[in-house]
Structure 1
Amino acid sequence: DFRFTFGFESLQFGIPLIPVLIGFLIVPTIVKMYQSNKSDSFLPAISIPFQKVFAYFTKKCIPSAVRGSVIGYICGFVPGVSTVLSTNASYSLEKKLKPLRPGNQLVASETANNSGQFASMLPLLLIGIPITGSEIILYSFLVDAGWSPFQFDNIEYNVDIIFKNIVPWFVLVNIIGLIVAWPMAKQILKIFTANKHITIAILVLFMLLLNTYLGILDYRVWFWSICLIVFSALGFLMKKYETIPLIFMFILGNDIEGVFYRQLII
């Protein structure tokens, strides 16, 4: 029997994930951006050739990058504070070793952040424990693709799912980002710093198009639209609070309930 449907057949299959993510993640960000009092043109103009940046990095920053990578990888296994701990620890260490080189401190903190993100994904891929908000979304996509944690006797199947459904998209996104972001960086920067109202309009339009497109694929556009309105209103009311725990519970709720029932039976 279906529970908590309140007489609506559309609720028998649950609430879609995308309206929840839009309402609890994007809407509070848009509201904070709109209410911000910062100037629209607060970013300074930077015109440093890439050759100079690359030469400085190869000559003076490689040891800092190595130290940051090691610190970030170790700190990445700490649940909840992986990126914050890794960036602060590497920055503090580099500030003591190279107090007169702020570039080294920046490189160390950024490499620590990257390696910390990688290390925090290992508990997710091995035993199914997401740590950050982005990992809980990745966890949901993996489960929908057929991946399941704790299947150590069938680990080849899980690895096959990861390499077929996740890794190609990671590579594709990075390639597209490199192709688009490098030559069009100045143009993209002008769009997002010219006027915050233009940025908000672009985000809202993209949000509506994405929700409508997925609703058409599901043959329930009206239901997806209602979910978007409801969760956008909730996200607006909760703009001053942290909404990531609600997304955690929305995605992990069924798994937590199943584990709880199994423990009661045991």
Structure 2
Amino acid sequence: MNELQDSVLEPQDGVEAADNTPEARPRPRRKGIYVLPNLFTLAALFGGFYAIVMAMNGRFDSAAIGIFCAMVLDSLDGRVARMTNTQSAFGEQMDSLADMVSFGAAPALIVYEWALKGLGKAGWAAAFVYCACAALRLARFNTNIGVVDKRFFQGLPSPAAAALVIGFIWIMDDAGFREGVKDIPWLVWATWTLTIYAGLTMVTNVPFYSFKDFGLKKSVPFVTLVAIALGMALISQHVPGMLFGLFMLYGLSGYAMYVYRRMKGKHVSVIATSTDEPDEKGLHQ
């Protein structure tokens, strides 16, 4: 009996005894950070920070360029991550924080410095409403990402809202309204109205087309390339005016779609009826 116990307790031939000492336990593998997509995110963050610095120095045209560059970079980081299979939870959180700076805090500070400062409490209140709505919109986007129809945004996306506010500043600056803007009542109140509109539209349930079903790998008719070339030529004629006009049309398109579908008796909510099929056809209420 003792021999049987000894044979059980002793390790068999060719099998090493397990070493459970703390020094011998394998250390958990550290998770790395993917450099490529986060470089685009950091560059977008720099664009927002650069815009704030330029606004503080009265160079609002350069501030506008910084915000629009941040928009381009923000649209690329997610695509680069998917193309290179380098998606990560860290990258998602980093992207949201960068968006809050570039498309939330930066436009609010720039518009306040440009025109709203002269309104006193009404001015900084409008800037804060925009900034707060940008934060709420980003938080809602992160929590609803699994149940929203991917073809549509729930409310105006924060980059488009920033383009409305900053684009208006850019065209006014290009038209010669560089100094003394705070002393022009109609311009100040027009800026105030646009800031409130952009902020509140971000937190509505109005559907805005996301263009996510537009794939670069899909074949398109030849006339599509011609239209793109014409669009680039038109934008080059007057960059501030054309960009502001395009984003203004986009900022109104959601309400137009909402009214149209209401008149047709169709559902207008972008929340899918099933979390298992967030891409199911149509908008559901």
Is the TM value for this pair above 0.5? no
Q: Which has the higher helix share?
A: 1
Q: Which has the higher contact order (CA 8 A, sep 6+)?
A: 1
**Alignment TM-score, normalising by the size of structure 2:** 0.28
